[in-house]
Structure 1
Amino acid sequence: MFNADNSELPTSAGDAPDDDAPAPLLQGRLSPDQATDLAMLKRIVASLPAAVTVQDRDGRFLLVNEAAATQFLLPASDLVRIAPDSPPPSDALLRRREVGIELLRERRSVVCEETVLGADGSRIFRTAHKPVRIAGLDLLLSSATEITDQKLLEQNLFERAYFDELTGLPNRSVIETKANGLLHSEQSFALAFLDLDNFKQINDYYGHAVGDSLLVEFTKRISHNLRSTDMLSRISGDEFLLLLTPVLSRSEVDDYVEFVVQRLRAPFYIDNTELFASASIGVSIYPEHGRTFGELRHNADVAMYQIKNATKGGAVIFDAAMEQEAQQRMQTEQALRRAILDKRFCCAFQPKVEMRTQQVRGIEALVRLRDENGEILAPGSFINLAVELGLIDELTHLVLDEIMQSIDLIDETFGADVSISVNVAAKQACNLAFMTSFTAALAATGCPERFIVEVTEDAFVAKSKFQTEILPMLRQIGVRISIDDFGIGYSSLSALADITADEIKIDRSFITDIHQRPRSQSILRAIESISDALGMTVIAEGVETLEEVLYLQTATRIRYAQGYYFSKPVYLDEIKPVDPIRDELRWAIHGRHPEPARLRPARHYGGGRH
């Protein structure tokens, strides 16, 4: 089986001319019993599923079984004929020779991995090497098992654990580890928090496949021109972290994030669709804005929300004032939760007026929050936060409860035939569970046909269950639907044809100074024509001046309006029923305002709406 010179060698274990004869090197050294045992051993070694080889001090193969021949993609006879001074035919064999010589010289055992490149790709083996001394010879015994499938599985599990499957980006734990490695060094670096703006609306309107493609293209665009030392990470659905290292100055960071902002303004082309997407970016710099990853990430997050709430699609570097605002927001959040628990909400009602007859045709219930000192807070200070925190559902039910508790006073003040509008956020409108419970609550009032649910156009254009499942439930109990703030969302005029609604409220941005704005006048006429064709009542929101009223009366067919010109939101416990409101509206229509001004109460509680 073994031969130390260049004479004829067996091609594999058990492949000598006389399979039961001992190898020439051992002839005369073995007893008959030993020779028999050796013959059996040769057959066993030849049939082992593990790839077994024996090498001498020169790295030459003295024994190669069938599995080892398969491993190295050569017949065993070719392997054992490779002379020590001849170059092996593959890199794998060259490495095996070098390892064998080194391990025998150092008398060291080792377990390692070997890669063999073949026509079908790379195959990986786990190989155990052990020096042995047999019959006075120093030999290296090696046994290898293929682990290619196991390595692929490990790699897959590793990538799933540390890399985002969609974009291929490292996840938060990877970028956190890299950032932690940079802490306590003299080197400054920046951490940017990127939030893709309006991604939910894009996902809802175009579908998740387009949304996923947008994330991939967004990743490519941000990754372009990054240095090898930088890292981009996806940490959640539409949120990314960008590590820039090193940074030499604040101006360098400013220039780079501005470059990213400008780069994102170019449209994305996905499935033959042109999409515009932006990101709000907040940045913190080490060590100025934090000495731990947690502090840096928090401050970058605070800066991102600051710019997102102010101007989406921009970038800003953190400063201490932002932290104060974030703390104020947290205090507002806690106050909101306590207010809902204590039911410290009330409703103000703003009339919808038929301009030509001066009659109140409907009212809109606007929620207000009383703080712990009894002061009234306008909805702009808490409605968006309530939606974000998932508190808006309970708040909407509280509004309905307040309406029904005051229904007699409402009827006395405005008339028993007026409609009552309740605002429902687009997120709520697409929530089947909430809308099912809210529809049941409306039905339980005993007068659901008086109610109008006002939702923004986002609820209609989104590919949600609103039109297919939720709208029929409301229709079945007689509740009408109004499109609120039309014109500021994502839909176009053509989208109106697909919307099933009873009323459309044109946002005040189109109504303000309408008599001086020809382009807004053209848009208004188009909305009016389409709404008429679809049988929807049109209401002009935010009417505040006599000039606006006169234009609407003389230049359009719009009959209904709502705004401070006619009445501020009215608190029922601060006005007298019926006549004062009707008289005040009448004076307002003719532009002659008695004292005290327009309506009681005379004070203004804020201009937000819900």
Structure 2
Amino acid sequence: MKVYLKNVHFIYLIYLIPLILDDGDHTQEIIWLVYIFPSIVLPFKYGKKGGLIAALIATLIHGLNEYVEIVINHEIYSAYNIWCMVIISIVNFTVAITIGFLVEKIKYKQHSLQRVVSKMEFMAFHDHLTGLPNRWNLEIKLKEAIEAARKDNSYLAVLVLDLDRFKLINESLGHSNGDQLLKDVAKRFSSTIRGDDFIARQGGDEFILFLPNLHSKEEANRKIENILQIVGRPFYINNHEYFITCSVGVSYFPNDGETWQELIQHADIAMYSAKDLGRNGYQPYTIEKLQEINDVVKIESHLRRALLQNEFTLQYQPLIDLQSGKIFGMEALIRWNSTELGAVTPAEFIPIAEEIGIIGSLGTWVLKEACTQTKILSELNQTPIRVAVNISSKQFKDKKFVDIVCNTLKETGLNPAQLELEITESVSLDNIDELILKLKLLKEMGISIAIDDFGTGYSSISYLKHLPVDTLKIDQSFIRNMLCNFKDRALVESIISLSKSFGFNVTAEGVESCDQLELLKSFNCGQAQGYLFSKPVEIHDFYRVFKNLNEGSPNLLLPVTIG
């Protein structure tokens, strides 16, 4: 076989070498190799750019065909063959351009897909607001750090950082400015980390930081103090200066937990302890804190069922008129004897009832039960007796509270003049206008109002003159210490004098000794209650106490015993 070529680019000699070495008829193979092969390979390798180059090569080859004679078996190509080459060149041009554009588009989509995948991966493991790692990312990194600390026999500290009163700041600034504050706080937290430290946003205003490779707990303490100092510096948002603090709880591996869940849980418990102690500080985890939390959880769990299972009862403590020495009333006190937890004090379960939102139902039960039993006792004694019922701040703030009291009196048939409602000073400070309105409505019904634990809050004396109240009850802490502390003694005397000046009755709580009683009498205190007269007792025992004190001409200097 002989092939004569002229004015053809030398690159095509490579394609013709196998044919030159073979004597067979390879006309079709020559056409495919010279025209088609480059136009397929180049676009796939170089995309749109390769397609254009291949198309230009095809056009060039077509133009050179006029000057090329290809002799195979001593025969010259005919015009038909040349036209075939022209058609092939046109097809080749179209194929090359099309493949090039398609490949380029596919590569662009692949690149876009990679960017989307990368963005989705970042979003999956980072907080969208601050850009910090999120909880999922934290879990992975903390597990790795725990394993490393286990191998190296080193300390690892887990810190839960929660901003103090951020909800209030967020509501005052607006959510957009609140978000900006979170971003700024995140930057400050990030500025404190070392190379191996890791910080993540847990959610809301809570962040988690872990410190690996520690040799002592003092290193973590210094770190926390530095964080508190940096966060305590002013923040500037829209040309306004703001201050914020944070509370920090810390747990250590391996002392406080072996898993990442335990370490975070225990650091979280310690953080709430720091908040309880005044905020803007830090507390380490202790087993006692966990026990406190477990006790609260148990109480909460059983508290929800206790009302339905009739586990609550009321006890009554006499209210004594110090001039006559007679019982004029009684205070209703709730008691809970749980079938599983045993006796639980009001100081333990009342705050939890307020927090979980059942104080309204519980308070309504107390009010109705106290009115019902007082009605029965008054009929039994043939003498009306007053009952004092404590009202929690959340219960009092209920918009339906006045209606609930009114309906309870109607249902039980108790004379409103026999009911006294005791509120705390904290209620009077929240919304003075709403407070006065509710108190006036209650007073119009004939109900008496007392301020309980007076002196322990921060109520203003100027507000006191505007409140339609009947009685001030001096907190037992002042009564307990007035014999040995001249300041408490002076305070008790001042409250009694102030009450008389305003036309209020005054009741001394927690009277336990004869000396306390004599001193109160010397201050012209009108009313008292306490263990000196009687402990809180069930309603059937109270009837006997009433008989002993009111009909037996008792000596008020001696305690009354039951049974």
TM-score range, shorter-chain basis?
A: 0.5 to 0.7
Provide the residue aligned with 2:435 in structure 1. Answer: 467
Give the C-alpha shift of residue 569 in structure 1.
0.9
* 5+ residue gaps, structure 2: 1-41, 58-95, 109-118, 150-154, 236-241
Q: Deviations over 1:460-493 (max 9, x none)?
A: 2114884166445433433332222223234344
Structure 2 contact 158–209 (Cα < 8 Å) conserved: yes
Give the C-alpha shift of residue 383 in structure 1.
1.8
Name the SS for the 2:387 alignment partner: strand
Provide the residue aligned with 2:211 in structure 1. Answer: 245
Residues paired across the two proteins, number = 448
2:350 to 383, 386, 391: 383
Q: Deviations over 1:578-603 (max 9, x none)?
A: 32133689423xx2x2xxx52316xx
Provide the residue aligned with 2:308 in structure 1. Answer: 341
Structure 2 contact 314–370 (Cα < 8 Å) conserved: yes
Structure 1 contact 414–577 (Cα < 8 Å) conserved: no
Provide the residue aligned with 1:178 in structure 2. Answer: 138
The alignment status of 1:392 with 2:355, answered yes or no, reads no
CA-based RMSD of the aligned residues comes to 5.0
Structure holding more helix per residue: 2
The alignment status of 1:437 with 2:404, answered yes or no, reads yes
- 1:153-552 aligned at under 5 Å gives the runs 162=127, 174-175=134-135, 177-185=137-145, 186-187=148-149, 189-193=156-160, 209=172, 223=188, 226-227=192-193, 229=197, 231=199, 233=201, 235-236=203-204, 240-246=206-212, 248=214, 249-257=216-224, 281-290=248-257, 292-305=259-272, 315-372=282-339, 376-411=343-378, 416-433=383-400, 436-446=403-413, 447-463=415-431, 466-467=434-435, 470-497=438-465, 499-552=467-520
Give the C-alpha shift of residue 346 in structure 1.
0.9
Give the C-alpha shift of residue 439 in structure 1.
4.5
Rounded Cα–Cα distance in structure 2 between residues aligned with 1:537 and 1:265 = 48
Q: Deviations over 1:104-158 (max 9, x none)?
A: 999767xxxxxxxxxxxxxxxxxxx9876278499999999xxxxxxxxx9xxx8
Rounded Cα–Cα distance in structure 2 between residues aligned with 1:540 and 1:210 = 45
Rounded Cα–Cα distance in structure 2 between residues aligned with 1:559 and 1:406 = 26
* 5+ residue gaps, structure 1: 1-103, 110-128, 145-153, 269-274, 602-610
Q: Relative to structure 1, is the Cα distance of residues 221 and 343 closer, same or farther in structure 2, using a 3 angstrom cutoff?
A: same
Rounded Cα–Cα distance in structure 1 between residues aligned with 2:553 and 2:200 = 59
Rounded Cα–Cα distance in structure 2 between residues aligned with 1:435 and 1:492 = 25
The alignment status of 1:133 with 2:52, answered yes or no, reads yes
Provide the residue aligned with 2:69 in structure 1. Answer: none
Q: Relative to structure 1, is the Cα distance of residues 258 and 376 closer, same or farther in structure 2, using a 3 angstrom cutoff?
A: same
- 2:561 counterpart letter in structure 1: L
Structure 1 contact 420–452 (Cα < 8 Å) conserved: yes
The alignment status of 1:579 with 2:547, answered yes or no, reads yes
Rounded Cα–Cα distance in structure 1 between residues aligned with 2:397 and 2:140 = 42
Structure 2 contact 476–511 (Cα < 8 Å) conserved: yes
Structure 1 contact 418–450 (Cα < 8 Å) conserved: yes
Instruction: Calculate the TM-score normalised by the size of structure 1.
Output: 0.59
Q: Relative to structure 1, is the Cα distance of residues 255 and 367 closer, same or farther in structure 2, using a 3 angstrom cutoff?
A: farther
Give the C-alpha shift of residue 365 in structure 1.
0.5
Name the SS for the 2:510 alignment partner: coil
Rounded Cα–Cα distance in structure 2 between residues aligned with 1:424 and 1:545 = 28
Name the SS for the 1:515 alignment partner: coil
Provide the residue aligned with 1:57 in structure 2. Answer: none
Structure 2 contact 44–50 (Cα < 8 Å) conserved: no
Q: Deviations over 1:419-459 (max 9, x none)?
A: 21111211222232456435432443332332222222222
Name the SS for the 1:282 alignment partner: strand
Give the C-alpha shift of residue 390 in structure 1.
1.8
Give the C-alpha shift of residue 286 in structure 1.
4.0
Name the SS for the 1:565 alignment partner: coil
| Identity score, percent | 27
Rounded Cα–Cα distance in structure 2 between residues aligned with 1:397 and 1:326 = 28
Rounded Cα–Cα distance in structure 1 between residues aligned with 2:431 and 2:411 = 29
Rounded Cα–Cα distance in structure 2 between residues aligned with 1:416 and 1:259 = 68
Rounded Cα–Cα distance in structure 2 between residues aligned with 1:233 and 1:223 = 13
Rounded Cα–Cα distance in structure 2 between residues aligned with 1:355 and 1:496 = 25
Provide the residue aligned with 1:150 in structure 2. Answer: none
Q: Deviations over 1:13-33 (max 9, x none)?
A: xxxxxxxxxxxxxxxxxxxxx
Provide the residue aligned with 2:72 in structure 1. Answer: none
Give the C-alpha shift of residue 317 in structure 1.
2.3
Structure 1 contact 339–345 (Cα < 8 Å) conserved: yes
Rounded Cα–Cα distance in structure 1 between residues aligned with 2:157 and 2:432 = 39
Q: Relative to structure 1, is the Cα distance of residues 305 and 586 closer, same or farther in structure 2, using a 3 angstrom cutoff?
A: farther
Give the C-alpha shift of residue 506 in structure 1.
2.1
Q: Deviations over 1:492-523 (max 9, x none)?
A: 44453564433222222222221332323443
Structure 2 contact 199–209 (Cα < 8 Å) conserved: yes
Provide the residue aligned with 1:598 in structure 2. Answer: 560
Name the SS for the 2:561 alignment partner: coil
Name the SS for the 2:283 alignment partner: strand
Q: Relative to structure 1, is the Cα distance of residues 425 and 286 closer, same or farther in structure 2, using a 3 angstrom cutoff?
A: same
Rounded Cα–Cα distance in structure 2 between residues aligned with 1:410 and 1:178 = 63
Structure 1 contact 189–243 (Cα < 8 Å) conserved: no
The alignment status of 1:565 with 2:532, answered yes or no, reads yes
Structure 1 contact 364–422 (Cα < 8 Å) conserved: yes
Q: Relative to structure 1, is the Cα distance of residues 501 and 518 closer, same or farther in structure 2, using a 3 angstrom cutoff?
A: same
Q: Deviations over 1:73-100 (max 9, x none)?
A: xxxxxxxxxxxxxxxxxxxxxxxxxxxx
Structure 1 contact 542–562 (Cα < 8 Å) conserved: yes
- 1:78-117 aligned at under 5 Å gives the runs none
- 1:368 counterpart letter in structure 2: R
- 2:312 counterpart letter in structure 1: F
Rounded Cα–Cα distance in structure 1 between residues aligned with 2:283 and 2:510 = 33
**Greater mean deviation of Cα atoms: 357-366 or 458-467:** 458-467
Rounded Cα–Cα distance in structure 1 between residues aligned with 2:220 and 2:536 = 47
- 2:525 counterpart letter in structure 1: I
Rounded Cα–Cα distance in structure 2 between residues aligned with 1:352 and 1:580 = 14
- 1:240 counterpart letter in structure 2: E
Name the SS for the 2:452 alignment partner: strand
Structure 2 contact 481–488 (Cα < 8 Å) conserved: no
Name the SS for the 2:422 alignment partner: strand
- 2:302 counterpart letter in structure 1: A
- 1:459 counterpart letter in structure 2: V
Q: Which has the larger radius of gyration?
A: 2
Q: Relative to structure 1, is the Cα distance of residues 246 and 383 closer, same or farther in structure 2, using a 3 angstrom cutoff?
A: same
Structure 1 contact 457–484 (Cα < 8 Å) conserved: yes
Q: Relative to structure 1, is the Cα distance of residues 450 and 179 closer, same or farther in structure 2, using a 3 angstrom cutoff?
A: same
Rounded Cα–Cα distance in structure 2 between residues aligned with 1:364 and 1:325 = 30
Rounded Cα–Cα distance in structure 1 between residues aligned with 2:293 and 2:343 = 22
Provide the residue aligned with 1:63 in structure 2. Answer: none
Provide the residue aligned with 2:84 in structure 1. Answer: none
Name the SS for the 1:386 alignment partner: helix
Provide the residue aligned with 1:50 in structure 2. Answer: none
Give the C-alpha shift of residue 181 in structure 1.
2.0
Name the SS for the 1:227 alignment partner: coil
